[in-house]
């Protein structure tokens, strides 16, 4: 509960710093800025009151950011020990195993599709390690996280195209997710209706859907990790 209280306080201070100076990390000499005039006090406390709702809504997202940062740190540590070549070999072992299973369980066409997806996933995994090594918050958000999501999403979805067992799990959930996104995210300007008219969610479009989702999901996770770093820096 003490940690939750500290997190909520830092979230609120982050909100306050959008408008007022020295709220989140006040200087040691100057200290935290406080309003002096009546007008400043009215604006300050009004903004503080409005900020309670974003804090309550933002805290679950902050928890996702904490979790993502923790596991991303573990993966980054493992990638550092393995190096780019080691990450490639690990991806080859994991997705190569999936390809071997596909060779015996699926048709030859299905095997080729899974093998191709595994190659893409291996390249994406290597790219994620490379971009993480380059460093920089912007590079990590824009490139490293989407590459990692592509390596994770693509092969199982492609395998599901040729496996009734996997398809029975992945496709219904994918369809429900697609309906939610179309109705609640892509409704602006009638984009959802245009997509429904032009495309049917079947076959290879499932793979394209998840390939397309890898980028915004990666960006979102990267932003949440940045949010977590801002609210609770790693050194703390």
Q: Is the pLDDT of residue 236 over 60?
A: no
The pLDDT assigned to 188 comes to 75
User: Is residue 216 in a domain?
Assistant: yes
- C-alpha distance across the termini of the chain, in Å: 17
The predicted structure's pLDDT at residue 136: 74
Is a pLDDT exceeding 50 seen at residue 14? Answer: yes
Task: Tell me whether residue 59 is in a domain.
Answer: no
CA R_g for the chain: 23
Which pLDDT score, from 0 to 100, does residue 46 have? 92
Residue at 10 is within a domain: no
| pLDDT surpassing 80 at residue 142 | yes
Closest to 206 in 3D by CA, of 236, 231, 176, 229 = 176
pLDDT over threshold 70, residue 40: yes
Average pLDDT over residues 23-51: 84
* Chain mean pLDDT for the chain: 79
Per-residue pLDDT tens over the stretch 45-86: 999 999 888 888 888 888 888 888 888 777 777 766 766 777
Q: What are the pLDDT digits (tens) for 172-197?
A: 878 888 888 887 777 777 777 887 87
198 burial class (0-12, 13-18, 19+ CB within 10 angstroms)? exposed
| pLDDT higher than threshold 70 for residue 168 | yes
Task: Please say if the pLDDT value at position 102 is more than 70.
Answer: yes
What total number of domains does the chain contain?
1
Q: Which residue has the tokens 């991303």?
A: 72
* Within-domain flag for 52: no
Nearest to 54 by CA among 18, 26, 21, 20: 18
- The stretches of the chain forming alpha helices (DSSP H) are 2-17, 38-50, 52-105, 108-134, 137-139, 145-160, 164-184, 191-198, 204-231
Pick from 78-82, 115-119, 128-132: least confident: 78-82
Rounded to two decimals, what is the model's pTM? 0.67
Residue 162, in any domain of the structure: yes
Task: Please tell me the predicted confidence (pLDDT) of residue 12.
Answer: 86
Q: Average pLDDT in the 8-26 region?
A: 83
* Residue 149 included in any domain: yes
Which of the residue ranges 97-111, 117-131, 171-185 would you say has the lowest mean pLDDT?
97-111
Across the range 90-113, mean pLDDT stands at 76
Segments forming the whole domain that contains residue 149: 82-220
* Percentage of the chain modeled with pLDDT above 70: 92
Report the pLDDT value the prediction gives residue 80, as an integer from 0 to 100. Answer: 66
Question: Has residue 232 been placed in a domain?
Answer: no
Residue 234 covered by a domain: no
Per residue in 202-218, pLDDT (tens digit) is 777 777 888 778 888 88
């Amino acid at each position: 509960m003490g940690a939750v209280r500290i997190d909520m306080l830092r979230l609120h201070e982050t909100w306050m710093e959008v408008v007022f100076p020295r709220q989140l990390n006040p200087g040691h000499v100057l200290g935290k800025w406080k309003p002096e005039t009546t007008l400043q006090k009215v604006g300050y406390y009004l903004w503080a009151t409005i900020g309670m709702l974003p804090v309550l809504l933002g805290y679950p997202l902050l928890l996702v950011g904490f979790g993502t940062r923790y596991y991303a740190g573990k993966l980054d540590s493992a990638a550092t020990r393995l190096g780019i070549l080691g990450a490639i070999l690990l991806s080859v072992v994991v997705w190569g195993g999936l390809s071997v299973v596909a060779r015996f369980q699926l048709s030859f066409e299905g095997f080729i599709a899974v093998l191709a997806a595994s190659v893409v996933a291996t390249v994406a995994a290597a790219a994620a390690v490379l971009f993480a090594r380059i460093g920089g918050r912007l590079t990590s958000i824009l490139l490293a996280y989407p590459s990692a999501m592509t390596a994770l999403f693509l092969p199982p979805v492609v395998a599901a195209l040729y496996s009734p067992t996997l398809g029975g799990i992945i496709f219904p959930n994918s369809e429900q997710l697609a309906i939610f996104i179309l109705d609640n995210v892509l409704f602006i300007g009638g984009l959802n209706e245009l997509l429904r008219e032009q495309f049917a969610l079947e076959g290879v479009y499932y793979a394209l859907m998840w390939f397309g989702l890898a980028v915004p999901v990666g960006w979102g996770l990267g932003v949440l990790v940045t949010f977590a770093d801002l609210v609770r820096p790693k050194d703390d």
